[in-house]
Structure 1
Amino acid sequence: MNLFRSRGQRRRATLLGLLSVPTIFLAVFFLGPLTIMLVYSFLEPGLYGGVVWRFFDLNYGQILGWADTKYERFDPVYIRIFLHSVQLAAVTVILTLIVCYPAAFWVSRLPETQKNLFLFLITLPFFVSLIVRLFAWVLILRPTGFLNQALMGIGLIGEPLEIIYTDTAVFIAMVYVFIPFMFLPLYASVEKLDMSLIEASADLGATRFQTFRRIVLPMTLPGIVGGSIIVFIPSLGNFIVPSLLGGAKVVMIGNLIEQQFLSARNWPFGSALAMMVMAAILLLLLYYVRLASREAETAPTVKEAA
């Protein structure tokens, strides 16, 4: 009995030792800066930058509507930028899902050697700097770029299309950047798909749509939700893609935060904007955890039904 107890204590001590390093790292380099930004978001901005150590809730009031004072005014433009950023991120999620969902099925049915090749090709863009890849899209989409020259050369258009510095250019670049983030979780779910259930559904007379709705979609739903969250979170706070391909015409919440910290030097207001983004992400993660726990609870019932 003492031997088992000592082994259990050693295992707990080993586990505690292994977990202590990443826990300390996250506490120092993630929770620490996050706490500082949370504190700054409730401080008064300094006249020439920095902060004044007085409680000041009008940073959130400028965003949410109670800052109608002599010096701080509520401006609905901040809510519009935030909602526009949510819209861009949501459309990016939908477009990447449309592209990656059938591609994941196709790759999962390939022979093993070809499958590994395509998985390598999906991750290949990670070996090139993001800035280099985005500047390549600038060269492709600008009025004198490859796309317009090709379309004019074959006679489809008579004058260059105004794609660069629009929402369309941002969508194209965002989908391009985040395709691997959507594809890999989807592929992991599709790879685990039990084909015998699909065959049984067809034998029992179900249509393709019924099979997809009742078998394929529920079994691949964790990959869909996981990929959507992985794409949505960085899309919402992204500022590099709108800066290079959206110019001054497309402003997302990430660009606004960058401007407040670097140009306007209004750190408290920039911190309040960042906290708004973090709150949206936290709500999304809580929804994902709730959905995952619900799937875990219903998993035995699904197995019994199968």
Structure 2
Amino acid sequence: MTSPPVVRKAVARVVTLGPGFGFLTVFLLVPLALVLSYTVFRRGRFGGIVYQPTGENFTRLADPLYLDVVAGSVKLAALTTALALLLGYPTAYMIARLPGRWKVIALVAVVLPFWTNFLIRTYAWIVLLNSEGLVNSGLKAVGLDPVELLYTDGAIVAGLLYAYLPLMILPLYSAIERLDPQLREASANLGARPARTFWSVTLPLSLPGVLTGCVFVFVPSLGNFVIPELLGGGRRIMVGNLIRDQFLKARDWPFGSVLALAVIAVLVLLLFAQAWASRRVGRDAS
């Protein structure tokens, strides 16, 4: 006796969706639920959790000390995102226009840094930027005075930009590659110059990739704590450092959970904004 179609469809859904949904449940939803539950309890005298409900953890977010940390983190993350867009868009545009073989080589070159350990790549910047590093050695060789590059906001931005620039290039390349070349041809046939075609056709239709790349760069830059620690020398405290310190040093798990939840909320809002903008661009294009 054969199984009814409804049963077969249900089994197929369980087989195909079950592993992925189970993975997300165990490694995403359960930890997120734990973090959410910790936000409403008090910190123990010696750290950890005391299961006494309180709203104090949320009101502490308004403390000027933490607001300064958040504002500084947003500024550096926004600057990194803007620079990544300025560098990433021309790169993605040129890759999309390359012949097939060279296009593959260029994409491999973009993702090549991910084949190296993140910490090794970060320490390489210390070798470049320290007072006796390659940059200052080059300045001395041409008769210029060395400059302080390491342990500055500029070093942090450079490290973040290097780490996350591929996350800007790849979605931009995908968005530009999908564009119908006939639209650019039609624009040229109507007398538009290449610059006008870019601003009127290419850029508006590639906005979903722009928004996706900005989210991919801004959010990890906001939460990163390794680069500010190594390249900033601990002089600049970012949200990621603050969350780490709350869990590992202050052992204030409830407040650390509130900070982590705030970063997650920013991510969710940005993803909703990106999805809404992408749908609107799609409607306008159609």
Work out whether the TM-score is over 0.5. Answer: yes
Q: Distance in 1 between matches of 2:72 and 2:17?
A: 40
Matched, 1:247 2:245: no
Q: Distance in 1 between matches of 2:56 and 2:203?
A: 45
Greater shift, 161-170 or 213-222, is seen at 213-222
Matched, 1:200 2:186: yes
Q: Which amino acid aligns with 1:92?
A: T
Q: Which amino acid aligns with 1:220?
A: S
Greater shift, 98-107 or 16-25, is seen at 16-25
The answer for the alignment partner of 2:165 in structure 1 is: 179
**Residue by residue, what CA displacement relative to the aligned partner does 1:275-299 show, whole Å, maximum 9, x if unpaired?**
1111111111111122223234x15
The answer for the alignment partner of 1:149 in structure 2 is: 137
Unaligned runs of 5+ in 2: none
**Residue by residue, what CA displacement relative to the aligned partner does 1:13-71 show, whole Å, maximum 9, x if unpaired?**
3123211221122112111111111111111111111111111111111112xxxxxxx
Q: Which amino acid aligns with 2:17?
A: L
The answer for the alignment partner of 2:265 in structure 1 is: 279
2:87 to 79, 82, 99: 99
Identity percentage of aligned residues: 40
2:110 to 115, 122, 126: 122
The answer for the alignment partner of 1:231 in structure 2 is: 217
Deviation of the 1:144 alpha carbon: 0.7
The answer for the alignment partner of 2:37 in structure 1 is: 39
Q: Distance in 1 between matches of 2:158 and 2:184?
A: 34
3-state SS, counterpart of residue 51 of structure 2: strand
Q: Distance in 2 between matches of 1:51 and 1:6?
A: 51
Q: Which amino acid aligns with 1:77?
A: L
Deviation of the 1:197 alpha carbon: 1.8
1:48 to 46, 49, 55: 46
The answer for the alignment partner of 2:66 in structure 1 is: 78
Deviation of the 1:8 alpha carbon: 5.8
State the superposition RMSD in angstroms: 1.7
The answer for the alignment partner of 2:242 in structure 1 is: 256
Q: Which amino acid aligns with 2:80?
A: T
Please say if residues 207 and 278 of structure 2, whose CA atoms lie closer than 8 Å, have aligned partners that are also in contact.
no
Please say if residues 208 and 274 of structure 2, whose CA atoms lie closer than 8 Å, have aligned partners that are also in contact.
no
Deviation of the 1:103 alpha carbon: 0.9
> How many pairs does the alignment contain?
285
Deviation of the 1:9 alpha carbon: 4.6
3-state SS, counterpart of residue 200 of structure 1: helix
3-state SS, counterpart of residue 52 of structure 2: strand
Q: Distance in 1 between matches of 2:11 and 2:204?
A: 40
**Residue by residue, what CA displacement relative to the aligned partner does 1:157-198 show, whole Å, maximum 9, x if unpaired?**
22x211111110011111100111111111111112223322
**Residue by residue, what CA displacement relative to the aligned partner does 1:129-177 show, whole Å, maximum 9, x if unpaired?**
000010000010011100111122123x22x211111110011111100
Deviation of the 1:263 alpha carbon: 0.7
Unaligned runs of 5+ in 1: 65-74
Q: Which amino acid aligns with 1:53?
A: Y
Matched, 1:89 2:77: yes
Please say if residues 38 and 49 of structure 2, whose CA atoms lie closer than 8 Å, have aligned partners that are also in contact.
yes
Deviation of the 1:120 alpha carbon: 0.9
The answer for the alignment partner of 1:70 in structure 2 is: none
Please say if residues 129 and 149 of structure 2, whose CA atoms lie closer than 8 Å, have aligned partners that are also in contact.
yes
Q: Distance in 2 between matches of 1:243 and 1:23?
A: 35
Residues 1:16 and 1:292: Cα distance change in structure 2 (over 3 Å): farther
Matched, 1:267 2:253: yes
Matched, 1:170 2:156: yes
Greater shift, 260-269 or 286-295, is seen at 286-295
3-state SS, counterpart of residue 52 of structure 1: strand
Which TM-score applies when normalising by structure 2? Answer: 0.94
Matched, 1:132 2:120: yes
Q: Distance in 1 between matches of 2:93 and 2:264?
A: 33
Q: Distance in 2 between matches of 1:153 and 1:8?
A: 76
The answer for the alignment partner of 2:11 in structure 1 is: 13
Runs of 4+ off more than 6 Å: none
